[in-house]
Every structure is written in C-alpha cells, then in structure tokens.
Amino acid sequence: MGEWTIGVIGGSGLYAIDALEDAERRTIDGPFGEPSDVLLCGRIGSVRFVFLPRHGPGHRLPPGAVNARANIDALKRAGCTDVLAISSVGSLREELEPGRFVVVDQFIDHTVARPSSFFGPGLVAHVSMAEPVCPRLSAFAADAAAAAGAPTTKGGTYLAMEGPHFSTRAESALYRQWGCDVIGMTAMPEAKLAREAELPYALVGMVTDYDCWRSDAPPVEVADVIARLGANASVARRLIEKLARLLPPERTASPLDTVLDFALITDPAHRDPALVATLDAVAGRVLR
C-alpha cells in the first residue's frame, strides 16, 4: 500500500495542468539526455501528479525527436508510480468521431527510427508486451473521461507510425484492414519503455480528425487538427481532475511493478557496468 504518483504525459494541445496545487517545476538530469521539458509537480487532492508535455514548450519537438527514454527515466526518477499518456490521435473508424476519447488497450508499432529499449548489449531484458497497458489505470482513466463529459470508448488498437507526415490513403486503408482503430505518432516506444521501467501505463487517445481512409472526404490538414485541439485539451484537463477523485486513497501493488523480476537474462557476471549504471532509476530495484 502506498501513495499514487501519476506521471501525465501531455500530447498535442495539452501543455499544462492548471488544477495542480503547490505546483513546482523540477529539472531532472538523467543518463539519456534531456526530457521534453522540466517536470511540473503538484497535487490534486491527495494524489500527486508529475506533468510532462511530450512535445515540449510551444510544441517544438516533432514526434521522431521526442526523447522517450529521457522522458520515462525522468518520470521514474521523480517517483512516479504510474503513467497516464494523453495523446491526440486520428480515427480509423467511422464511429470514433472527432471529440471522442479512446482508452487504448493494444498497439501496433510501425515506427522505425527510435531507440525502443533501455537495455542492450551488456544487459539484455525481454519484457512481455502481450497486454501493453495497465488495466487498472485504464479503467480509472475511462471512468474519468466519461465523468469529464467526453464520449468515451473503452478499448482500441493504436497504430504508431513514424511520422511526421500523415498517412497515404493506401496506408490508412491498410491499417484499417489490420484492425487498427486510431493512429498516432508518439505512443511507441513510449509504452514499451514504461513497461521496462516498471511503470503501469495507460493511454487516452483524443480523436482530432478522421485519417485519410475516407475517399469521399478531403485529407487531414494541420488546421483541422488545431481546430479540435483546444476543446479536447479542455476536456483532458477535467479528466485529470476527475481521475484524482476516482483513485482509491491507497495504491495497492500492481503486477506491473515487478515485471523485471522475469525479464533480465544476462548473467550478472557478464553485465556491462556502464550500462548498469545508466539504469539506476529504471531498473535499480533489480540491479542493486
């Protein structure tokens, strides 16, 4: 039993949480470079939150330049127990209209150019991603989204594309054939890294537009996305406030808190000391 500390990674349009009490900014130095921004730490009621805008102040970072390893490492160092990602997404389904919030439960990783693991030569680990999100946090997030007034869908598959370009019509049609429901550019490798850092992770996708699979409609443009961002972000801020009031007073342990117990494969005698040292926050629990 312990205190909740929710790391909130804000996507396009969500650059602050106004409701934080006793808010203070905290700079985190870690071995993976600079996170997207300084962390904004505070409370809503009894729940501690640590907020990080994924694209940095002023949305200066394109998807491929987001240092997901530094972001997750910083949230871990800040004492986060769980991570809630709130991301703008495109819709691949007619019934997932702009303004709807989709609580994702599966991913297809179609990114190609991003460091996707904290581990590597000298310290090998294989975490399970069969169920890539935390069911407990996802359920609370879905209830909070509904309480905030968002039309909410529980469950959906997120296609993570490299970007920064939007899809071709052929790609969009293919992703629908694959069974994907929403599309975005940032959830991978973020979700994988959160799992390696033993941080239960949930993602709420805020639908801004339909992807370009609708042949009778014009393709998505940035202006369409921006037009929807403000309304979505306002609801997302209410979602966070509702979440603070829905969480139980005490956080019970999650099986995801200890996934590295079953993931490390490199014999201790053959581990690279330099790599071990960089993982003092991410994997220090099992490497000490």
Range list of β-strands (E), the chain: 5-10, 21-26, 39-44, 47-53, 82-91, 101-104, 106-110, 152-154, 157-161, 182-184, 201-210
Q: What is the predicted pLDDT for the residue at 226?
A: 76
pLDDT for the residue numbered 18: 85
Q: For 5-287, which CATH superfamily applies?
A: Nucleoside phosphorylase domain (3.40.50.1580)
Give the pLDDT score at 159.
Answer: 98
Q: Is 209 a catalytic residue?
A: yes
Q: Angle 68-77/187-196 helices, nearest 10 degrees? A: 40
- Given a cut of 70, whether residue 127 has pLDDT beyond it is yes
This model's pTM is above 0.85: yes
Given this model, what pLDDT does residue 212 score?
Answer: 93
* Confidence (pLDDT) at 218: 78
Position 92, amino acid = L
Which tens digit of pLDDT belongs to each residue from 140-199? 999 999 999 999 999 999 999 999 999 999 999 999 999 999 999 999 999 999 999 999
Catalytic residue among 29, 37, 211, 280: 211
Model confidence at 1, pLDDT cuts 50, 70, 90, reads low
Distance from chain centroid for Cα 287: 25
Active site residue 280: no
Do 192 and 186 touch, CB atoms closer than 8 A? no
For the chain, what percentages of helix, strand and coil (3-state, to nearest 5) are there? 30, 25, 45
How distant, in Å, are the alpha carbons of 44, 212, 257 from that of 243? 9, 33, 20
Beta pairing, strands 157-161 & 182-184: parallel
Average pLDDT, the chain: 95
pLDDT of residue 172: 97
Q: One of 82, 109, 181, 209 is an active-site residue; which one?
A: 209
Q: Is 19 helix (H, G, I), strand (E, B) or coil?
A: coil
Using CA atoms, how far apart are residues 199 and 114, in angstroms rounded to an integer? 20
Q: Cα–Cα–Cα angle for 204, 242, 234, nearest 5°?
A: 65
Task: State the chain's maximal CA–CA distance in angstroms.
Answer: 61
Task: Please tell me the least confidently modeled range out of 8-22, 125-139, 183-197.
Answer: 8-22
The full set of domain ranges for the chain reads 5-287
